[in-house]
Amino acid sequence: MDHQPDPSTYNCLSCAKEWPCDPAREHLKATTSDPVQLAMRLWDELEDAAHVLANEPPSVLFERFLKWTW
Ligand SMILES: [Zn+2]
């Protein structure tokens, strides 16, 4: 998939939107059958992203990375 996060900014490398962008979310949903697995996968991403996006409030990161998964 082209829509991967840039590790230094956590913007999408393909469309430059905040990752996970819509195509990335679609891809993650399509390739992860179990909602719990999906949330765990995004939780790992959130942990990495939290270092890069340290200025973002936790609630914003939560909505961006996890809320849409269920
Ligand atoms: Zn993208």
Query: How confident is residue 1, by pLDDT bands cut at 50, 70 and 90?
Result: confident
Distance 36 CA to ligand 1 centre (A): 23
pLDDT of 65 reads 98
- Which one, of 19, 1, 2, lies nearest residue 10 by Cα? 19
For residue 61, the tally of other CB atoms under 10 A from its CB is 19
Distance 64 CA to ligand 1 centre (A): 14
Beta bridge partners of 17: none
- Which one, of 41, 56, 57, lies nearest residue 10 by Cα? 56
Distance 25 CA to ligand 1 centre (A): 9
pLDDT of 31 reads 96
* pTM for the full predicted model: 0.90
User: What are the sequence ranges of the domains in the chain?
Assistant: 1-70
| pLDDT tens, residue by residue, 22-51 | 999 999 999 998 999 999 999 999 999 999
> 14-28 burial, b if ≥16 CB within 10 A, otherwise e?
eeeebbbbeebbebb
Distance 7 CA to ligand 1 centre (A): 14
Average pLDDT over the chain, rounded to an integer: 96
